[in-house]
A and B are shown apart, each in its own frame.
Chain A
Amino acid sequence: MSSYEARFKVWRGDVEGGGLQDFAVEVNDGEVVLDIIHRLQATQAPDLAVRWNCKAGKCGSCSAEINGRPRLMCMTRMSVFTRDETITVTPLRTFPVIRDLVTDVGFNYHKAREVPAFVPPPGLGPGEYRMMQEDVDRSQEFRKCIECFLCQNTCHVVRDHEENKTAFAGPRFLMRVAELDMHPLDAAAETGLDRKRTAQDEHGLGYCNITKCCTEVCPEDIKITDNALIPLKERAVDRKYDPLVWLGSKIRRRTS
C-alpha cells in the first residue's frame, strides 16, 4: 500500500459566488476522487457539500467536472492522474450552483415531465406482453441510463446557452423519446401521438448538430448520438425538413 499527498483545488461557494480552494490531502492505493472528497469532509471541511449515493457508478449522483471534464467522481480513479498533478474539481457548469459541488438539476426533472409516458397497448392485459429480445435490445440500451446528467451538462446547445433551455430537452430526454418510439408495444401512435414529430416540434431535436459530446461523456457507454439521436433525426426528417440533417450530410463533423 503506498500513500501520497495530493494537491486538490475544489470549488467552494454558493449562488452568491465562490472560488477554488486549495487542499493537500492523503491518497491511498485504489482510491477514487469521491474517496478524496470524503476525506476532505471528514478531516478538513466538514460542511463541504457533495451529492453522492451508491459509490459504484450505478445511481448517477456524484457528477462533477474533474480537471474540466464531466465525470462521475466515484468512477474516476486517482491512478489516472500523476502524483504531482493538481486535481481540480468543480460543479457541473450547465446547472445553477446550490453550494460547493452541488448544483440544481431541476431542469432535467422538468424536461422528464414533458415527455409523454409509455402508452400501454389496448387489448393486452398484464402477463400477455410478448416481445422478442432483438426487438427490445435497442430500447434496453437507452434504459441503461443512470441519469447522471453528464450528457445534459456537456451538450453545447445548453452549456453556455441558457436561452436554449426552454426549447431543448437535451440528449437524455431526446433519448427517452427515442426509447419510447422504439418500444415494440408502445401504442402512442394509436392515440394520435406522433413521437417523432414531438421530438422535432416540442423537444428541440433540430438544435442537435451531432457533435457526439454526449456520447463521449456517458459513463454507461450508451451510443446516444448514433443509436438514439441520429435515428430519431432520420425518421423525423421524413416528416419535417431539418436543415441540420441536410447540413450534416454536406459537411464533416467539425473538430471542437
Chain B
Amino acid sequence: MSVVDRQEWDVVVVGAGGAGLRAAIEARERGARTAVICKSLFGKAHTVMAEGGIAAAMANVNEHDNWQVHFRDTLRGGKFLNQWRMAELHAQEAPDRVWELETWGALFDRTKDGKISQRNFGGHEYPRLAHVGDRTGLELIRTLQQKIVALQQEDMKETGDYESRLKVFQECTVTRILKDGERVSAVFAYDRESGRFFVLEAPAVVVATGGIGKSFKVTSNSWEYTGDGHALALLAGAPLLNMEFVQFHPTGMVWPPSVKGILVTESVRGDGGVLRNSEGKRFMFDYIPDVFKEKYAESEEEGDRWYEDPDHNRRPPELLPRDEVARAINSEVKAGRGSPHGGVFLDVSTRMPAEVIRRRLPSMYHQFKELADVDITAEAMEVGPTCHYVMGGIAVDSDTAAARGVPGLFAAGEVAGGMHGSNRLGGNSLSDLLVFGRRAGWHAAEYAMGVAERPEVAEAQVNTAAAEALRPFSAETEGEAGPPENPYTLHQELQQTMNDLVGIIRREGEMEQALQKLAELRVRARRAGVEGHRQFNPGWHLALDLRNMLLVSECVARAALERTESRGGHTREDHPTMDRAWRNANLLCALADPTGGLAATDPARGQIRLTRETTDPIRPDLLALFEKEELVKYLAEEELYE
C-alpha cells in the first residue's frame, strides 16, 4: 500500500453547494482553518440549478409578512412533521442571511423603492422569494464563491498564500469519514483527475452533499446527487431521519426523452401560469385537500383576481404545495387526460405578454426553445412530476446542526433531515442552505477549536478505505460469484427500480419487490468492474457511487414500507389518508451491518435497521400561532390538550 498524503485542517466541509460554501465562510470567519472538498469544479454545484428564489420574510412586497407567518407556512407545507425548532430558526434568520448576501455583492431584482423584490410561490402566504429572474441559484452560488475568493484575497495579503486558511479541493470525492473511537478524525478522498488518494485530518467535518435524486430514473438532479453524504454519515454511525419523504416536483419537462425530468421552475405558476389537462380544464380546482380548503380560491375568477388583489381574494390552487400538485398531475395523466407525451399543459402564453415572459422567465424561455423547440410565449409547455428533493436526511440537533451520535460530525442543507418535515416548500431550500450552512460552520469551528487533543487517524483505517476504493479494478479476478458487472447497467437498473417501485405513488407489494431487487443489485454491485486506470475514470467513479445509492435507496424503501399513511412526499395507495397517529412519529435508519458495510450483506435482512421514535411536542407558543380548528386536522387528541 502506497503512503497516502495527509493534511491537517480544523474543519473539513464536504460539498460546495450553498450549504457547504456558507458553512466554510462561517468556519473560516470564526478562525478555523477550513478545507472544502467537492466533486465538481468550484461554482458548479447543484445549487446553481435553483431557479425560483430564496424564501425570507423581509416584508418588502407585503408588509404583513413576518417570521411567524413563514413558520406557519413551512409547518403546513411539511404537514406538521417538521423539526419545529429548525423551522423556527429558519424563519427567523432567513432575512438576515439574504441581506448579508447583498453585502457580499449579490444583485437581486428590485422593488420600485429599490429594495429586494419578492415573488409568490406555492404554499407561501405572501410574496416572499428574493430572486434574480429565474436564475437565483446561480446568483447564490456565485456570491458565495466570490465571498470565498474575497476571504482568500485577505489571507493572501496577510500570509502570502491564498489557501493558508481556506482551500477548495475541487473535483475530489470523499469515500469515508474516519473516526478515532466515537469521534470524527478525518475524511478519506480521491482526486478525480489523478485518482490519487489523500486524507484530510480534522476534528470536525461538515457534510453538505445535497440529495439522492440520481437513484431515480426521472429526476431534476445532476450526477453528483448520489446520496454520498447520507451514506457517509450512515457508515460513520449516524442515523438518517424520515427517508421515506422524497419530493417529486410537479413540473419537470417530459419531452424530448433526453431532457425528461429537467426542472420547470415553480415561478411559472407563481407569476401566473396555469395547469390544464387535455380537455383544457384547470383541473387543480378539483384537487384542493380539506386541510387547505379555506386558503385557496374556489373559482378561476377569484384565483385570477388574487394576483392583483391578494388581500381580498384567495390564491389559485396551482400554488398548492408541491406534493399536492404532483399527485394531481399524476391522477390526471392516469385518468387519460394527459398531454401527448404523458404530462399535462402548463401555460403562460395566454396569461401574459410575450415580452413579460421573456423578462421574468428568461431561462425557461431559453430552455424550451433550445431543448424542445417550444416557444413558451406562444404555446403551452408539457410537464410532469420529476424526483427533485429528499426531505429525509442526517438526524441533526436543530441549533447546532450536529449529527446525532457522532461527535465532530455536522450536516446542513438537503443532506440534513427534519427542517422540511414531509414536504418542502419552494424557496425554503435556498434559505435552509444559508441558515443552517452558517450554523453548521459556526458550531463545527467552535467544536474543532475547543478539542483538547486532535483525534488520531489510524493507518489501518486509511488502508481499509484505500482497499475499498480500489476494489472495482480487481473485480474480474474475484471470479466464482459471477462475471464482472457494468456499473452503468447496474445504475440504470437501480434507477428503474426506484422509479417504478418506490416512486410517487407507493404500494406495499411493490416496495417489498424493490427491497428484493436492491438486495440483488447489492450483491452484483460488489462485482462492478472497471476498465482503464485511475486518472479521470468515470466508470470507476460510478462504481464507487453505487455503494452510496444502494444504501440510501434501501433507507427510502424500508422507511416507506413502514409508514402506513400518506403525508407530504410519501403517498401510499394502500393507505391513502394522513393519519394523525403518525404525526409525531420519526423513522430512523441506522446501519445494521456492524462491519461498517464492507462485508457482503445478507440479501433478505439488508443493511439498514429501522427504529421509530416520538418527536418532541411543539412548543406551546409556536402552537399558539395556529387556530385550533386547523390544529385538529393534524394533531392527535392528546397532543392538543397537553
Contacts and interface: CB of A to CB of B under 8 A. Distances in A.
A10 interface: no
Nearest to A36: B258
Interface in B170-185: none
B110 A131 contact: yes
Nearest to B367: A56
Contact of B537 (A31, A42, A47): A47
A52 interface: yes
A153 B257 CA distance: 31
Interface string A97-116: 01110100100010011001
A46 B532 contact: yes
Given A30-B255, A46-B530, A118-B104, A58 B114 contact: no
A59 B538 contact: no
A98 B132 CA distance: 35
Contact of A132 (B49, B114, B256): B114
A57 B370 contact: yes
Contacts of A147: 43-44
Interface residues of A, number: 58
Interface in B359-394: 363, 366-367, 370-372
A98 B196 CA distance: 14
B46 A53 contact: yes
A57 B370 CA distance: 10
Interface stretch (A137-145, A224-232, A234-242, A243-251): A137-145
A53 B103 CA distance: 29
Interface string B236-261: 00000000000000000001111100
B105 A28 contact: no
Contacts of A143: 107, 132, 138-139, 142
Interface stretch (B71-79, B144-152, B582-590, B620-628): B144-152
A22 interface: no
A14 B537 CA distance: 12
Contact of B488 (A42, A113, A186): A42
Nearest to A114: B153
Given A30-B255, A117-B150, A56 B262 contact: yes
B12 to A, nearest CB: 20
Contacts of B105: 117-118, 180, 183, 186
A77 interface: yes
Contacts of B224: 53
Given A29-B256, A126-B103, A146-B138, A118 B49 contact: no
A249 to B, nearest CB: 32
B259 A56 contact: yes
Contacts of B492: 42
B258 A32 contact: yes
Contacts of B537: 47, 49
Interface residues of B, number: 69
Contacts of A54: 44, 46, 48-49, 222
B109 interface: yes
Contacts of B149: 112-113, 117
Interface in B32-61: 40-44, 46, 48-49, 58
Q: Is the interface of A mostly helix, strand, loop or mixed?
A: loop
Nearest to A1: B257
A216 interface: no
B43 A140 contact: no
Contacts of A132: 110, 114
A217 to B, nearest CB: 15
Interface string B198-225: 0000000000000000000000001110
A27 to B, nearest CB: 10
A31 B258 contact: yes
Nearest to B100: A126
B257 A77 contact: no
Contacts of A43: 488
A146 B363 CA distance: 12
B138 A102 contact: no
B125 to A, nearest CB: 21
A139 B492 CA distance: 43
Interface string A23-65: 0000011111001000001110011111111111111110000
B46 A46 contact: no
With a 10 A CB-CB cut-off, give which of A52, A105, A126, A186 has the most chain B CB atoms. Answer: A126
B103 A59 contact: no
A20 interface: no
Interface in A3-31: 14, 28-31
B296 to A, nearest CB: 31
7 contacts: A32-B258, A42-B488, A46-B538, A56-B49, A126-B102, A144-B138, A183-B107
Interface of A: 1, 14, 28-32, 35, 41-43, 46-61, 75, 77, 98-100, 102, 105, 109, 112-113, 116-118, 120, 126-127, 129-133, 136, 139-140, 143-144, 146-147, 180, 183, 186
